[in-house]
Amino acid sequence: MCIPEMNNRAAERLAFEVQLRHALERQEFVVYYQAKVNVANRKLIGAEALIRWNHPQSGLLYPGNFIGIAEESGLIVPIGQWVMEEVCRQNQAWLRSGLDCVPISVNLSAVQFRNKSLVNSLRRLLQETGLPPELLEVELTESCIIQGSESMIETLQNLKRLGLHLSIDDF
């Protein structure tokens, strides 16, 4: 691999990272909700929050196009915080409008899960929005759980103490 090609890739990655920062500032992210249905009785039992990036030039981008760079750059933490805020606000709005609400699950990456302010941030968010904690589910990837450090176990226990549902994604 030649140096100019490596420089081009590094420049493209940096430009994409800058675009991600701008996307957060310009509110270009959007959350879609995928229903979780009990197939036996066809009842809605929950939903999963799925982030998309409404990119000004490229259109709607799926997480596979940007989450990796967001994790590497540390932007996954503020992006993840935005998703949590959006989900809590939306579910609380549905609750206030009289709808029967179901838990909404939000995926957390290993980077987000290791963030020391995660539990306090979620506690504050639940207090600010007034969303009952049982209406928020935190999904962790299998790789997060496998690491199994004491701080990870403590974080899981603290999330459970908040009253949140916990689940393992990609298991």
* CATH number for the domain harbouring residue 155: 3.20.20.450
pLDDT at 141: 78
pLDDT at 2: 64
Structural domains in the chain (count):
1
Q: Which domain holds residue 58?
A: 3-169
CB 32 within 8 A of CB 63: no
Return d(Cα 54, Cα 58) in angstroms, integer: 8
pLDDT at 165: 93
pLDDT along the chain (171 residues), means of 10: 70 90 97 96 96 97 95 93 97 94 93 90 97 96 72 90 89 54
Reported pTM: 0.89
Burial class (CB in 10 A: 0-12, 13-18, 19+), 62: exposed
Q: Which of 71, 73, 87 is nearest to 141 (CA)?
A: 71
pLDDT at 107: 94
pLDDT at 148: 62
CB 53 within 8 A of CB 75: no
Please count the CA atoms within 13 angstroms of the CA of 109 that sit on its side-chain side.
Answer: 20
